[in-house]
Chain A
Amino acid sequence: MKRILAKLEIPILAFVPLTLFICASLQITQAAVLSLLVALAAIAVFFANFELSKPVLRQIIPAVVLGALAAAGRILFAAIPDFKPVSAICIVAGVVFGRRTGFIVGAIAALVSNFFFGHGPWTPWQMYSWGMVGYFGGVLADRGLFDKHPAAVYVYGFFSALLYGVLLTTWHVVGFIQPLTWQSAILAYGASLPFDIIHAVATVTFLLIIYAPWSRKLLRIKDKYALSGSKQDARL
C-alpha cells in the first residue's frame, strides 16, 4: 500500500493537467466534475502518502506554520487583489524543506484561507495549483538550480505565479465553456492575464524581500529542530 502510493505520487500529480488536456481535446461534457475529482484524488493521494510516511515533528510543524503564515498573508493582503504572498512562501518552503513540504504548504494555505474567503469548487484547484508551485520549487532546488543561479529563483517565482493562473483558468475554460472554441479560450486567458501578471509581480516582489532572509531564518529553525545529517535526509 505504502509503496504503491509512493510510486503514484508523480503520475497522479501529472495526471491532473493531463485530464484537463484530454477533456479539452475530446470535448467531454462532464469536464468540470471529472477534472475536479481527479484534482481531489491527486491531493488525497499526496496527503495519504505523507500520512503513511510517518512524518516527525520537524516535518510537520514547519509545514503547518508556513501554511498558516501563507493563509494569514493572503488575508492580510486581501485589500490588494491578486497581490498575495502565498506563492512566494510556498516556493521558500519547497526550497528549504523539500518538494513535499512545498506541496503541503501550498495545499494547506489554500484550504485554510478559504475557510475565511469562502469555499467553492475552486478550492481543490487552488490547493493543487499552489501545491505544485511549492513542489516544483523543491524539485528545482533539489537539482541545485538555485545554488548555481541565484537569480533563477525569481524567474521561477514569476513563471510559477503564471502557472498557477494558467492552471486555474484552464480548469475554468475546460469545465465551464461549452462547446470549447479557440476564440473563447483566448478570451478567457486574455481576461485573466492582467491578474496573473499582478500575481507574478507580487510573487517576485515578495521573493526579493523574503527569499534570502527567510531561507536563513528557516535554516536556523531547522538547526534548532536538530535537523542535522546529510542534505538528502533533511529533505525527506
Chain B
Amino acid sequence: MSNMLRWQGKNTGFELIHPGLQLTYFAVVLVLTMTAMQPVLLTISFISALLFSFCVRGWQTTLKTLVILLPLVIICAVINPLFAMMGSSEVVRFGQHAIYLESIIFGLCMGMMLASVILWFSCASKILSTDKVLAVLGGVLPVVGLMISMAMRLVPQFTERGKLIGSVAESVTSARPLTKRDHITSRLRIVSVLMGWSLEESLQSADAMKARGWGATNKRTGYKRYRFAAFDLFASLALALLVITCSVLAFVACSQFHFYPTMSTLTLWWGYIPYALLMLLPLVVRIVEDLRFKWLGQA
C-alpha cells in the first residue's frame, strides 16, 4: 500500500504542469532556501514548507517529522554558540568562553534551514513520483533512465526474495541459526544466495531485451507520457520571471543583512511578498483546485 502511494504520488494541482517544470520548481525552492541565510526569508520558506506538508502529507505525518526536526533546530542553536564565539551581545560567560546572542540566532537559522530543506524534500517526493522523475531523466539520458527504472523494479523483488531466503533458512531446523554468530552468517548468506539467483535471472532478462529489438537502432526514442504544451511554456516563463525577481530580492536582502558582530535590524519590506508568493505557490494552486471542484460540485 505504502509502496503504491510512493509510486503514484498524490493528486495536487501540480499535475497540470509538465513534470520537468515540477522538478525545476522544487530545485529552485531548495537552492533558494539553502542560499538565502536571512531570518525572514528562512521563516517564509519554513512556514511554506510546513503548510504544504500539512496539505500533501497529512497533519499526522508532518507532526511526526516535526518531532524529529525540532530537536535538530535546538541542537543547532546550542552547538553553534559553543564553537563560534562571535557576536556582541553576551548572554552568559563561562570564564574565557562567552555565549553570544548573535551566534545563537545564527544556529537557529541554520537549524531552520536544514529543517525546511528536509520538509521540502519530503513534499517533493510526494509530488514527484518515481515515474515522473524517470520520465524527465529518460528524455535526457535514455539509457541511464532505463537503468534506474530497471533497478527500481528489481529492488522490491530483491527485498522480497531476501526475506524469503531468510525464512527458508529459518524453517530448515538443522540449518537454523542458533548462536549470534550463526545469525550474522545466516544474514550474510542471504546476500550471497540472492546475488547468485538474481544474476542468473538477469541473463534471461538480457534475452528478453534482445528479443524485443534492443540495439536495433542508434536512435532510441523515449515514450513521452507527458508533453510540453503551450501552457507549460507560459508557466515556465512566469516561473522564470518570478524566480529571477526572487533571486535578486534574496540577494539584496542577504547582502544588507549580517549576523556578526551585531545583527542587522529587520524591517518590513515589500520585497518579501514575491518571495512568499513563490514559496506558497503550490499551496495556492492546491487551494484554487480544491475550490474549483467544490464549486463544480455545487453547480
Contacts from A to B (Cβ < 8 Å): 29-30, 32-33, 36, 47-48, 50-51, 54-58, 60-65, 67-69, 71-73, 75-77, 85, 104, 108, 111-113, 115-116, 118-121, 176-179, 181, 183-184, 187, 205-206, 209-210, 213-214, 217-218, 221, 224-225
- Chain B neighbourhood of A69, CB < 8 A: 154, 158, 191, 194-195, 198
A65-B125 in contact (CB<8A): no
- Please tell me if B281 contacts chain A, counting CB pairs below 8 Å: no
B117-A68 in contact (CB<8A): no
Of the candidates A32, A36, A51, A64, the one having the most CB atoms from chain B within 10 angstroms of its own CB is A64
Per-residue A-contact encoding for B197-213, CB less than 8 Å = 1, 0 else: 01110110110011000
Interface of B is mostly: helix
Q: Per a CB cutoff under 8 Å, which of A65, A116, A184 touches B83? A: A184
Q: How far is the CA of A108 from the CA of B159 in the complex (A)?
A: 16
Q: For residue B187, which residue of chain A has the nearest CB?
A: A77
- Shortest A89–chain B CB gap in Å is 8
Q: How far is the CA of A36 from the CA of B121 in the complex (A)?
A: 15
B192-A210 in contact (CB<8A): yes
Q: How far is the CA of A57 from the CA of B207 in the complex (A)?
A: 10
- Chain A neighbourhood of B200, CB < 8 A: 221
Q: How far is the CA of A76 from the CA of B158 in the complex (A)?
A: 9
A33-B34 in contact (CB<8A): yes
Q: How far is the CA of A68 from the CA of B201 in the complex (A)?
A: 13
- Chain B neighbourhood of A112, CB < 8 A: 148, 151-152, 155
- Chain B neighbourhood of A184, CB < 8 A: 79, 83-84
- Please tell me if B240 contacts chain A, counting CB pairs below 8 Å: no
Q: How far is the CA of A9 from the CA of B74 in the complex (A)?
A: 41
A178-B106 in contact given A108-B151, A118-B121 (Cβ < 8 Å): yes
- Please tell me if B23 contacts chain A, counting CB pairs below 8 Å: no
Q: How far is the CA of A210 from the CA of B190 in the complex (A)?
A: 11
Q: For residue A217, which residue of chain B has the nearest CB?
A: B196
- Shortest B156–chain A CB gap in Å is 8
B114-A176 in contact (CB<8A): yes
Contacts A/B (CB < 8 Å), 6 sampled: A33-B34, A51-B143, A65-B154, A68-B198, A178-B84, A209-B188
- Chain A neighbourhood of B141, CB < 8 A: 47-48, 51
- Chain A neighbourhood of B34, CB < 8 A: 30, 32-33, 36, 121
Q: 7 nearest interchain CB pairs?
A: A72-B158, A68-B154, A184-B83, A68-B151, A76-B162, A65-B202, A64-B150
Q: How far is the CA of A181 from the CA of B84 in the complex (A)?
A: 7
B194-A72 in contact (CB<8A): yes
A72-B155 in contact (CB<8A): yes
- Please tell me if B35 contacts chain A, counting CB pairs below 8 Å: yes
- Please tell me if B130 contacts chain A, counting CB pairs below 8 Å: yes
- Please tell me if B88 contacts chain A, counting CB pairs below 8 Å: no
B83-A55 in contact (CB<8A): no
- Please tell me if B108 contacts chain A, counting CB pairs below 8 Å: no
Q: For residue B161, which residue of chain A has the nearest CB?
A: A72
Q: For residue B85, which residue of chain A has the nearest CB?
A: A181
